[in-house]
Amino acid sequence: MEWRNRDQEGRSFRPRNAGPANTEKHLGRPPVGADLVDSITSASETARRRLKVVLRTLAGGCTIEGACEELGIGRTRFFALRQRFLVEAAHLLEPRTPGPKPRVVTDAERRAEALEAHVGDLEIEVMAAQVREELALAVPAVVKSKTSSGPQGKKRGERHKRRRRRRAARGRARSA
């Protein structure tokens, strides 16, 4: 055994950072590293190249001087570029509220919705008027008797006016 650590009771144990117990290769995908940038198709070639160089310097695969030479920029510009990358990456990894962003409704959209609702109401009124017209043509005697203001309609109107006059008179009598 290459590790000789012992616990409090004297038993040998393998430390956590000792690596795999056997020397066989691990199964699974090999790490891709900075080459993963090549799969980003939405960025320009210049942006991908810069990102790849910054990631390689962060991983220790490239020196600052080598990166500056490869990008054709000075050390100060490289450090500014790297700092901007790190700040924006950290900003993107901030926790956000779950779910989709709430949709912002503009005044024009609100007005359009109100107009659509009004058009719907008007369409219903038009259909009701058409039904009334069809009924009036189909059964004219029934429709005329209900819509005409005959003696009953007149009585109701007069009765209402008389009640109003009485109430007004009572109010005047109480206040005097």
pTM exceeding the 0.75 threshold for the entire prediction: no
> What pLDDT score was predicted for residue 34?
78
- SS3 of the chain: the string is CCCCEECCCCCEECCHHHCCCCCCCCCCCCCCHHHHHHHCCCCCHHHHHHHHHHHHHHHCCCCHHHHHHHHCCCHHHHHHHHHHHHHHHHHHCCCCCCCCCCCCCCHHHHHHHHHHHHHHHHHHHHHHHHHHHHHHHHCHHHHHHHHCCCHHHHHHHHHHHHHHHHHHHHHHHHHC
Whether the CB-CB separation of 11 and 38 falls below 8 Å is answered with: no
Q: Which amino acid is at 115?
A: L
Domain range summary for the chain, segments of one domain joined by +: 5-92, 109-148
Q: Report, as ranges of residue numbers, the positions in the chain whose pLDDT lies below 50.
A: 1, 3
Single out the residue of 37, 21, 101 nearest to residue 12, CA to CA.
Answer: 21
